Every structure is written in C-alpha cells, then in structure tokens.
Amino acid sequence: MARVVVDVMLKPEILDPQGQAVQRALPRLGFDGIVDVRQGKRFEIELDGPADEAALARAREIADKLLANTVIEQYAVRFDPAEADRVTEPAAG
Amino acid sequence: MARVVVDVMLKPEILDPQGQAVQRALPRLGFDGIVDVRQGKRFEIELDGPADEAALARAREIADKLLANTVIEQYAVRFDPAEADRVTEPAAG
Amino acid sequence: MSARVGVVTFPGSQDDQDALRAVELVGAEPIALWHRERDLRQVDAVVLPGGFSYGDYLRAGAIARFSPVMETIVAGAREGLPVLGICNGFQVLCESHLLPGALIRNGGMLFINRDQRLRVDSVSTAWTADYTAGQQILIPIKNGEGRYTADEHTLDELEAEGRVVVRYLDNPNGSARDIAGIANAAGNVVGLMPHPEHAVEELTGPYPGPATDGLPFFTSILKRLVAA
Amino acid sequence: MTAPEQNRNSTRPAYVVDTVEHAAASPDVQLPYEALGVKPDEYDRIREILGRRPTSCELAMYSVMWSEHCSYKSSKVHLKQFGEKAPDVDFLLVGPGENAGVVDVGGDLAVTFKIESHNHPSYVEPYQGAATGIGGIVRDILTMGARPIAVMDPLRFGPADAADTHRVLPGVVRGIGGYGNSLGLPNIGGEIVFDPCYAGNPLVNALAVGVMKKSEIKLAQAHGPGNKVILFGARTGGDGIGGASVLASATFDDGRPSKRPSVQVGDPFMEKVLIECCLEIFAEDLVVGIQDLGAAGLSCSTSELAAAALQQTGVGGMDVQLDLVPLRDATLLPEEILMSESQERMMAVVTPADVERFFGICEKWDVTATVVGTVTDTGRLRITWHGETVVDVDPRTVAHQGPVYHRPYHRPAWQDELQAATPDSLSRPKTGEELRETVLRLAGDPNLADKRWVIEQYDHRVRGNTVLAHGEDSGMLRLDDESNLGIALATDGNGRYAKLDPYTGAQLALAEAYRNVAATGARPLAVTDCLNFGSPEDPEVMWQFAEATRGLADACQVLGTPVTGGNVSFYNQTNEQAIHPTPVVGVLGVIDDVSRRTRSAFEHEGDVLLLLGE
Ligand SMILES: Nc1ncnc2c1ncn2[C@@H]1O[C@H](COP(=O)(O)OP(=O)(O)O)[C@@H](O)[C@H]1O
C-alpha cells in the first residue's frame, strides 16, 4: 500500500481570500505578528501496490487532473510523511 | 521570520464527504486501485520572530483555537518543510 | 411591553433582515445587534441569522464565534437566555460549543436550496412550543455545509434526552440520523439548518405551500417571553 | 511555497520610471503598443493628443480605455440608435452612459438594473470567471447609489454531453451561486441553452438590479477642486493585468496561450462588506461622486471620474499619487497598478469635511480606505509615482475620445439560403413509432430538461422579498412591505432566431421578455441588453450586429421601453467559427401590488382557459 500526500496551494500571485480572512481574524484573537497566512488543501491518498515511483507518478497525475485547478493552483506530491509530520496530534480540549 | 505549516484533517472516525467525492470520481477518470482519499486543509503561516519553539507553540495555539475545530478535526504543526516538500511544482499543462 | 428579540449581524450575515422581519411579523420588537458590541441591549432572546459570516472561508461560523457579542451571548445562554441559531447561526452555536457536534460539507458537495419537508420531534424547547410533537412542516433549506455530524455517543445522548428538535423527512445531505436541528439540555438554545424566517408570509414562503410553517418558531418564543 | 518577498527585487530588473519629462525628451523610444492591442494609427493619435510620445503609464491607460471592451469603438455608431430612437418617457431618471440606467418606479423609489457579459474569463476559469462576473455587475448597480437586491444569469453552453461543457458548466453555476449567495442576493431567474455554436465560446451573462430612493442617486463624477479621492475595498494585486480588456480585444485562440489573462479571483465576503459599507456611506450622503473599479481598474475610475466633471461643468481635473495605492503585491509597477483589475474595489470623491466620517464607516466594516488623490481645476489628470509625474493627460481623451470605427458590414451570402429552408422541408413523424421517437427525443433534450440541478445551487429567498423566481415566466420582487409595490424582470434571447434573421431575432428576444414580464401582471417599463457576437472585424458578423441593434432599437421605440444600458461582447468565436448572434434582452416591469401577481401554473380546478392572440 502506498500512502501519498498531495498539498494543493493557490499560486503565490493569486489572491487568497481564505488565508486573508484568517489573517485578519488573528489579531482580534490576541495573536499578533502574523505576517502572512495562506490556506490550501491537503489530500491523503492510499493507492494499492508498492510505494514506488510509479505510485508517485499516478498520484501526480491525479493531482494534475482532479485535485488541483492548475489555472490558479500548484501542488506537491510526496510519500506519507515521517511520523513527526503526521496529523495525529490529539485534539487539545 | 518563522514559516510554519499547519495541517488539519478530519478525525479518522468522522466521515469525510469531500474525500469520498474525490474517491468516487477517480475511477470515472480512469484511476483505479485508489483505496482511500481524505481531504483536509493546509495552512502556511508566517510569523515574525525566530523559528524557535516559541513560534511553534504560538502556531499550535492558533491551530487549536481557530484553524481546527477539535470536535471533529485534528492538526499537526511544524516548521516550513524541506525543499522537497514545498508546493512549488510548476503546473503541468 | 412586548418582548425584545435581538438579531445579530456579523460581517457576511445575509438573512438578518429576514429574521428581523419575522420577529416583527409575530408582534415582537426586533432589535438589531452588531457583532462588535458586547451589549445585548436588554433583549429577551437572540437569533443568530443565516449567511456567510466572514465568508465562511475557514469553516462556517469559525470566526464569528469569537465576536465580542458572542461572549455575552454564550454567557447569557448558559443562564437561560433563549437563542435560536439558523443555518450559519447553528454553525456558530456549534463552534461556540453551546451545541454539540459540527456541520460539514453536504454529501453531494453542492449548495442546496429547496423547500424541505421536516418533522418536529421536540416541542419542549423555547422555540418550538407552538408546534405539536411529530408535526410535519415545510421549510426552506439553503446551505453548502449543512450535514450534521457528531460522535455516536453524542448522537445517542441527543436522542435519549429528546434534544433532536427537527428531522429531515428525506435527508438532503447525509446528516447523521436525519438531524436538521438540535437543542441544548435546557432547551433554551436551538440550532437549525432550515430557515423558518423564509416561511412566514404567504407571499414569499414555499410554493406550493404551506407557506408559513416557520411562524411557530417565532410565536413560540413570543408567547414564552410574554408569559414570563 | 516561495514567499513573494523572495521574488522581490531579485527577479525584477532595476526599474527606470518613464516620466512625462523623460518621454518628452526621448521621442524615439519605442513602446510595445501593439502588444497592448493598440493599432499603429491609434498610437499616432495618442502622440498627436499629447504632442509627444506617451509614457508607458499613459500608454497603459490609453490601451485599456481604448480597447473594444471599454470604448465600444466598433459598436458605438450602432448603439447610438438606442438614444436616437428612444421613446419619449417620463420615468427614465438616468439613461445610458452611466454605470447603469435608473428608472422611476413610483413613490420615492427608483430602480437600476443592467446586464453584462463575462464570457471569456468564464471559459478560461469557469468558477472564478462567473463569480467575478456577478461581482462586477453588482458593483455597477451599487455605484449608482442603490442597494443590490437580486441577480439573474442567462447562460449558453456547447452540447450538454461535450467534455468541455462538463468542465465549464458546473464551475460557472457554482461560481454564480458561490458569489451571489455569499452577497445575500437572490437569484430570481435566468436561462440555460445548449447549442453546438457555443462550444469553445460559452456565454455567461449576468444581470443585477438594485433599488434606492430617488433622491439618493449617485453619479460617477469628480466635482469640486480640493475634494479628496479615496480608494477603498480590496488591495490591488496583479490580477488580470491586461486581462479582460486585452482578452476582449483579440480573438480568443487556443494557439496563443500568452493571450490568456492571469485569472481574477473573487472575494465575495469582501464585496458583501463593501456593499454594506457603501450603503451606510450613501445614507449619510458622504460622497460627491463614486465609481467602481472593473475592467481597466484605476485607469478607468480616475479618467472617467475626472472627465465627467470636466464634461459637465468645464471645471475639473485630478491629481493622484499612485504610490499610495495599497498593494497586495509590493513588486507591482505603476503601469501594472493602473491596469490591474483586482476585484472588490471602489473609488469615491469626498469633501475634506466628510473624510473623517467616511473613514469611520470604513473602519466599522473593516474596509481598507486610502486617500490617493485630490480633485483639481487644472483640467488634467496627473498621476505621480514617488514624486515623479508618470501621467499628465486630458482625462476626456482617455475616457471619451477613443477611436470610433465604422466597420464595414454586409449581409452574408448564405443568409438567403438559410431563410429559404423553412420548417416545411423538415420531415414529420408519420407512424406511431416515429412519434414516440420524437417525443422521447424532446423529453431527453437538455434544452427542455428540468433545470433544478442549477437552480437549487442558487439562493432565491434571501432578503425575503422574492415573490416569483425560478419556474416562473419572470422573477418578481417586493420593494415595499407597506405598499406592496414591486418589480418583475425577465431575460430572453434566442441565437437560432437571430441567426436566421438578426433584425427580427432581436425583436423576438425583446418581445418574449416583454411578454414574460406582462404575463406576471407587471407593466414593462425599460430594457437592458447584452449583445453577444463574434468578431466585429468580420463584415458578416458586423452585419448581424448592425441588424440586431437596429431591430432592438426599432422595437423598443414601438413598445415604448427605452434601453437604459447594456453591454457588448464581441470576439465570441474560435478561429473563423463565430457563435450565433445572441442578443440577450432583459425587461424590467413594475407592479403596484405584488400580491396580485399571476403565476404560470394552473392554480385552481375549474378555472377557464383562454387563448389570446392568433
Ligand atoms: N441559469 C439559470 N439561472 C437561474 N434560473 C434559471 C436558469 N436557467 C433557467 N432558469 C429558470 O428556470 C426556469 C425554467 O427554465 P426553462 O426550462 O428554460 O423554462 P423557460 O423556457 O420557461 O424559461 C425559469 O424560471 C428560469 O428563470
């Protein structure tokens, strides 16, 4: 089983209303010194077969065709990140 | 300047309609053997000050308070990833 | 003296005018509240209206929850202030943890606007006393993130305590257990995805009707406040 | 992801400002005017007007303002008829020429409405193209001083089963819904038509309507030397630089991707806040003049505001400090700032005494506002960049004195043959089996299918005044809770009729919209139109345009419904293949009591059916 992560972000020159809304909200919540916030998408994909270059290539094709709108977005594809990178942190109360 | 990435994903036990919609679309586009797709959010945050533990702690607080709804979501916070991990891939035509 | 019902406007609220009109139609005094003001202007009840507060870009209701007005409303709700959250208002109530669970993207991914058949399952809340238990009603829904979700334990608890207020008769978005609206344990706080304020006039309500099935939400609270 | 900062300075060559002084001293410097869509003779005219070569900033302004999209250079001579043949009516408060026409609907209320196209951008990026189309037309309505109260969306796509339609249609519908719903504007009707002629050139037209007190009409003019010029709303970014304008001035052709604009992304939340902010500003009567920033951005707003004052009073002018414009991308050059089409921005002229109050309201709504200039009496539009003058022009030459073309046109040779093919030549179903086949084909035709998948993505209830919407002949809105005064609106168009006979086809579109409004019980008053055509450089297309315009003007005269404004969209063609000529006509009607509306469904058993007409 290959576990692949695809990160999709708006191209830097494209306006990111979502990131801006978050950024504007932060000072009101008492968070200062936030210079920039960009918001994008993260996909975790599980493909059958080995975690090899072919799997990455398939994931890249999926990203290009479906997950990212390449007119305005760019993406990065990589294997399941190291433990430290996993989104498994327990929710704090 | 500290550059931090916050990944937010639905908790595994929460149904993910967006991931499912992507998964259902894939066979129609000719992609088979996709076992699972989950969709979440990725935030890229720039904080002023050094890239130290305190910056991470601030980002974690932001994630916990605002970026994630910890009733249904979990998150991971880390420094700007290595080059390989960057979302800078040129959009393929 | 009539009852004063406040309607909060957040940046991006859309149905605040409609909610104010519904309040006025049943004879209560509508009071516009502004998200930046902590002062609730002595209202007896509050409606959090529909819309897209802060664009709903992060998560519906996520940013509005931190408005100054919400601090007062959350504190008041814990002491019995009647609060009705409609659509975006429901999302704000969940984000504020006044109500359990969360609202996520609709099953079909799309925004859905249609006249929806519902069943009123709890008439013991501050906002539903004027319905009869099990009454079937027709009220518009319009949202993209209206799918109610919560863990099984929470869902069981809601059912056991009779806190599921309205259910979809034909579930449009995959909401858990057909839930369209819930209440807190005390019954003063109710969150709904459907829009009763869009079903209060023959002229503008669902067609073909019934057109005014939303009115009892507003008459219920008025009667309770006037009786108090 | 690379931070914008990392690009800064490193990728930009040191920039030398092309000042007016520099331009005067360097007459031989060649500017790439043709790349900006400026023809050699047009460039010569600019030189003649200025008495020197333009600076690069001036050229940027002229190029966008003299583009087909902004100057109507090919259509102007034909559109004139709407004025010349305008019926004599007493309810028209503002006619064509302003951002939108304004009609007196009785009591102290006035209504403004207009239709516009966003065809090319919606083809390139369906969601954002359609979304910003709604955003743009809504700002036009807002600019008049009105509260926007509804939108409509006449759409045309290629075949429903074409792969490209699957790419374009869902995005367009989600974009219209996403933006309109987030503004809290009910969508009260529209059209969807599928026809192979729109493959590669879908039409995304958007209509918006607004209401205001008659006494609160605002105009786009910069009066009063000493008054402040305020830019407010979103920050300026690199969106659509040379976008809509350049794109609209050159035939869209897949082979030249460099012509594609960088896409504009809409921020509906910003626009919603901007609407509420403007309405509060209007209510306190804090603006002398106001203009939205659409295509041609600051080039348009500064030159049009300044030109209007000069035109009307002979006194005017404006000094603008371009370096004060709040930027999203600090690397933007002055030429780019002038051309940027970043969405959700407005420009207001405010007396010095009112500036503080103006800023107070902006602060309430979290809207960025900046004084970027001052009204003068110099007769010139002067723009500086860090102290150096980069533009010094008579604003009228930019805004009003663009080229006017009398493009050649002639009736296509194939027109006779097309008209000769009457329905009589079509085969008719003869057997039961054939009849069944025909019925099934009709039932399965996307053009006749239920439009629920589209309509359900639109909020039609918000604001609580929608009396009629989808499924009805026209949309209807209540304007006044007390009196029940209301308006009805319908849009119609039929490219197939118009291709057969553009003159009559345009009249049929008007007649259908007129009937749809009348059928609800409203009295048709006024017209807006969006004229979607192929390339005006093709004499046969130009003939279609001339005929359609003439037909519409004649019919409006007969029906007593003036055209109050509209939009021309040319170059809807891929290579030689133009769309059917598609004039889309919107009719506004007024109804004294909306409770007396007539629905299109049979309401009561036993009602008598009557057929009117032949
Ligand atoms: N793109 C659209 N946006 C909004 N409403 C639409 C759109 N397309 C069609 N409608 C509405 O759907 C209803 C039915 O449309 P249609 O089947 O084309 O019927 P008709 O021929 O009566 O216009 C009409 O009321 C029309 O306003």
User: Could you tell me which chain B residue has the CA closest to the CA of C146?
Assistant: B17
Please write the tens of the pLDDT for every residue from B11-65.
998 889 999 999 999 998 899 999 999 999 999 999 999 999 999 999 999 999 9
Tell which C residues from 163 to 192 touch B, by Cβ distance under 8 Å.
174
Query: Residue A13 and residue D270: Cβ atoms within 8 Å?
Result: no
**DSSP letter assigned to residue D146:** P
Q: Burial, B27: exposed, middle or buried (Cβ in 10 Å; 0-12, 13-18, 19+)? A: exposed
Q: Is the CB of D155 under 6 A from ligand 1?
A: yes
**Quick one: tokens of D543?**
């003939």
Whole-angstrom distance, CA of residue D383 vs CA of residue D393? 9
Instruction: Please give the distance, rounded to the nearest whole angstrom, from the Cα atom of residue C209 to the centre of ligand 1.
Output: 21
Over 70: is that where the pLDDT of C190 sits? yes
**Quick one: tokens of C93?**
């109530």
Sequence-ordered list of residues with C-beta below 8 angstroms from that of D418, at least 6 positions apart, any chain: D499, D500
Count the Cβ atoms, other than its own, within 10 Å of residue A51: 14
As a whole number, mean pLDDT of residues D583-603 equals 94
Q: Is the CB of D19 under 6 A from ligand 1?
A: no
How high is the pLDDT of residue D248?
30
Locate all alpha helices (DSSP H) within D502-609, ordered by sequence. 502-519, 539-559
Query: Residue D3 and residue B88: Cβ atoms within 8 Å?
Result: no
Sequence-ordered list of residues with C-beta below 8 angstroms from that of A10, at least 6 positions apart, any chain: A16, A38, A40, A72, A73, A74, D265
Q: Please name the chains neighbouring C, where neighbouring means 3+ C-beta pairs under 8 angstroms.
A: A, B, D
Q: What percent of chain C has pLDDT over 90?
A: 97
Which residues on chain B place their C-beta less than 8 Å from a C-beta of chain C?
A: 10, 13-15, 17-18, 21, 66-67, 69, 71-72
- The closest of D226, D247, D184, D194 to C49, measured between CA atoms, is D184
Number of H helices, E strands in chain D: 21, 21
Whole-angstrom distance, CA of residue D185 vs CA of residue D182? 8
Whole-angstrom distance, CA of residue C26 vs CA of residue C127? 13
- List the domain boundaries for chain B: 2-13+40-90
Query: Residue B87 and residue D1: Cβ atoms within 8 Å?
Result: yes
3-class SS letters over D203-222: EEEEEEEEEEEHHHCCCCCC
Low-confidence ranges of chain A (pLDDT < 70): 81-93
Count the Cβ atoms, other than its own, within 10 Å of residue B5: 22
Cβ–Cβ contact B35 with D under 8 A:
no
Contact list in C for residue A29 (CB cut-off 8 A) is 66
**DSSP letter assigned to residue D35:** G
How high is the pLDDT of residue D15?
58
Handedness of CA A39, A45, A50, A56 (dihedral sign): negative
Nearest to C58 among A18, A28, A29 (CB): A18
Ramachandran region of residue C104, left (φ > 0), alpha (ψ -120 to 50) or beta?
A: beta
Q: What confidence tier does D614 reach under pLDDT thresholds 50, 70, 90? A: confident
Given a contact cutoff of 8 angstroms between Cβ atoms, the answer to whether C111 and C142 are in contact is yes
Q: Is the CB of D187 under 6 A from ligand 1?
A: yes
The phi, psi pair for D134, rounded to 5°, reads: -65, -45
Cβ–Cβ contact C57 with A under 8 A:
yes
Please write the tens of the pLDDT for every residue from D530-550.
999 999 999 999 999 999 999
Given a contact cutoff of 8 angstroms between Cβ atoms, the answer to whether D337 and D385 are in contact is no
Please write the tens of the pLDDT for every residue from D223-255.
999 999 999 999 998 877 754 334 333 333 333
Query: Is the bond preceding C208 in cis, omega lying within 30 degrees of 0?
Result: yes
Query: Residue A28 and residue C57: Cβ atoms within 8 Å?
Result: no
Bridge partners (DSSP) listed for residue B38: A44
Over 90: is that where the pLDDT of B91 sits? no
Cβ–Cβ contact C148 with A under 8 A:
no
How high is the pLDDT of residue B87?
55
Q: Are strands D187-194 and D289-292 parallel, antiparallel or unpaired?
A: unpaired
- The closest of D603, D385, D419 to D502, measured between CA atoms, is D419
Handedness of CA C87, D368, D140, C36 (dihedral sign): positive
D268-283 vs D355-364: helix axis angle to the nearest 10?
140
Count the Cβ atoms, other than its own, within 10 Å of residue D559: 16
Residue D410 among the catalytic residues: no
Over 50: is that where the pLDDT of D324 sits? yes
Please write the tens of the pLDDT for every residue from D32-82.
888 888 999 999 999 999 999 999 999 999 999 999 989 999 999 999 999
Half-sphere exposure of C35 (CA within 13 A, CB side): 22
Contact list in B for residue A90 (CB cut-off 8 A) is 74
Measured CA distances, C111 to A19, B35, C18, D222, D600 (Å): 22, 27, 20, 42, 26
**DSSP letter assigned to residue D562:** -
Measured CA distances, D519 to D516, D599, D612 (Å): 5, 8, 12
- Which CATH number is A2-13+40-90's, of 3.30.1280.10, 3.20.10.10, 3.40.190.80, 3.40.50.1480? 3.30.1280.10
**DSSP letter assigned to residue D236:** B
pLDDT higher for D428 or B83?
D428
Please write the tens of the pLDDT for every residue from D459-470.
999 999 999 999
Domains belonging to chain C, first-starting first, are 4-227 (3.40.50.880)
Residue in the structure block whose two tokens are 């991006």: C12
Measured CA distances, D598 to D473, D517, D541, D594, D610 (Å): 10, 10, 40, 9, 15
How high is the pLDDT of residue D9?
35
Distance of CA C91 to the CA centre of its chain: 9
Contact list in D for residue A41 (CB cut-off 8 A) is none
Whole-angstrom distance, CA of residue C91 vs CA of residue C85? 8
Please write the tens of the pLDDT for every residue from D96-109.
888 899 999 999 99
Q: CA dihedral defined by D122, D126, D131, D132, rounded to 10 degrees?
A: -40
Q: What percent of chain D has pLDDT over 70?
A: 94
Whole-angstrom distance, CA of residue C222 vs CA of residue C28? 6
Q: What percent of chain D has pLDDT over 90?
A: 82
- The closest of D574, D558, D499, D10 to D256, measured between CA atoms, is D574
Number of H helices, E strands in chain A: 2, 3
Q: Are strands D582-591 and C4-9 parallel, antiparallel or unpaired?
A: unpaired
Over 60: is that where the pLDDT of C131 sits? yes
C94, C95, C195, C198: the catalytic one is: C195
Given a contact cutoff of 8 angstroms between Cβ atoms, the answer to whether D594 and D468 are in contact is no
Q: Is the CB of D74 under 6 A from ligand 1?
A: no
- The closest of A62, A63, A48, A58 to B29, measured between CA atoms, is A62
Over 80: is that where the pLDDT of B83 sits? no
Cβ–Cβ contact B52 with A under 8 A:
no
- Burial of C167-204, coded b for 16+ CB within 10 Å and e otherwise, reads bbeebbbbbbebbbbbbbeebbbbbbbbbbbbbbbebb
Which of B1, B14, B44, B61 best probes binding to A when mutated, by most A CB atoms within 10 angstroms?
B44
How high is the pLDDT of residue D485?
98
Cβ–Cβ contact A34 with D under 8 A:
no
Given a contact cutoff of 8 angstroms between Cβ atoms, the answer to whether D326 and D395 are in contact is no
Residue D470 among the catalytic residues: no
Handedness of CA C34, C39, C45, C46 (dihedral sign): positive
**Quick one: tokens of B51?**
């890239």
How high is the pLDDT of residue D251?
31
Q: What confidence tier does C102 reach under pLDDT thresholds 50, 70, 90? A: very high
Q: Is the CB of D451 under 6 A from ligand 1?
A: yes
User: Could you tell me which chain A residue has the CA closest to the CA of C97?
Assistant: A93
Over 70: is that where the pLDDT of C66 sits? yes
Amino acid occupying residue C219:
T
Given a contact cutoff of 8 angstroms between Cβ atoms, the answer to whether C92 and C46 are in contact is no
As a whole number, mean pLDDT of residues C171-188 equals 97
Q: What confidence tier does C1 reach under pLDDT thresholds 50, 70, 90? A: low
Amino acid occupying residue B39:
Q
Helical (H) or strand (E) element with C119: strand C112-120
Sequence-ordered list of residues with C-beta below 8 angstroms from that of D447, at least 6 positions apart, any chain: D192, D193, D194
Rg for chain A, CA atoms, rounded: 16
Cβ contacts from C onto D, under 8 A: 89
Starting from the edge strand earliest in sequence, which strands make up the sheet with B34-47, in order?
A73-79, A2-10, A34-47, B34-47, B2-10, B73-79
Pocket test for ligand 1, best of D115, D445, D450, D455 (most atoms within 8 A of CB): D455
Whole-angstrom distance, CA of residue C182 vs CA of residue C189? 8
Please write the tens of the pLDDT for every residue from D346-386.
999 999 999 999 999 999 999 999 999 999 999 999 999 99
As a whole number, mean pLDDT of residues C130-157 equals 97
Whole-angstrom distance, CA of residue C138 vs CA of residue C118? 6
Please write the tens of the pLDDT for every residue from D473-488.
999 999 999 999 999 9
Starting from the edge strand earliest in sequence, which strands make up the sheet with C29-34, in order?
C29-34, C4-9, C45-48, C83-86, C189-192, C179-183, C164-168, C112-120, C136-143
Residue C195 among the catalytic residues: yes
